[in-house]
Amino acid sequence: MQTLKIALVIIGALLLQMLLPTYLAFFKYVDLPLFLTVYFGLQRAPLLGMLTGVALGVGGDAVMGGVLGVGGFSKTLIGYVVAVASVRFALEHPMARLAIVAVASAANTVLIIGLYLMLEQPVFELSGYGALGRLIGWRALADTGMAIVIFMILDRVFAEQTTARRMAIKKRFYE
């Protein structure tokens, strides 16, 4: 049942990522697959973080266009790093989760731009470091703002997983 819910959430996020930017200009800065990668990475399971990162990254590349595999690599790496960090540190507090989203958003943007440049593919129209900084800032701000809403929804959809994660954190860090 849990795997089915995860698959449905992944498909829904990819569909929304494909449709929303055409209707709402704000969503061109929002990366829904990144939220899910970070959310499942925070579940304290590195394999789950990596697998959702692969599925969301490659799926995002397929529906949004671009070089197939660049987003997959980026989100897999971010899913793994977030999952390992969540095992080592208590990242259950909402402010910590938002900070992780902001850092992951900036890292994702830098990784994707770097990979596109390395592959000598056309990348976002950036006219210098100032434009790159603005792009990273706007994406981090948009992703962090949307993550507040998305994480609340996901915590309700995966309520049993959230409760189990909180109990594991209490057992490990407070007992």
What distance in Å separates the CA atoms of residue 92 and residue 7, rounded to the nearest whole number? 23
Is residue 146 classed as helix, strand or coil in its secondary structure?
Answer: helix
CATH 1.10.3470 fits 2-174, yes or no: no
Q: Supply φ then ψ for residue 148, to 5 degrees.
A: -60, -50
Amino acid symbol at 140: A
- Residue 152 has, within 13 A of its CA and on its CB side, a CA count of 6
- Does residue 157 carry a pLDDT above 60? yes
Domain ranges of the chain: 2-174
- Does residue 125 carry a pLDDT above 80? no
What distance in Å separates the CA atoms of residue 103 and residue 88, rounded to the nearest whole number? 17
Q: What is the pLDDT of residue 55?
A: 95
What distance in Å separates the CA atoms of residue 37 and residue 76, rounded to the nearest whole number? 8
Per residue in 61-96, pLDDT (tens digit) is: 998 888 899 999 999 999 999 999 998 888 888 899
- Does residue 130 carry a pLDDT above 80? yes
Mean pLDDT of 102-121: 92
Q: What is the pLDDT of residue 170?
A: 58
Per residue in 36-62, pLDDT (tens digit) is: 999 999 988 889 999 999 999 999 999
- Does residue 167 carry a pLDDT above 70? no
Give the residue with greater pLDDT, 115 vs 125: 115
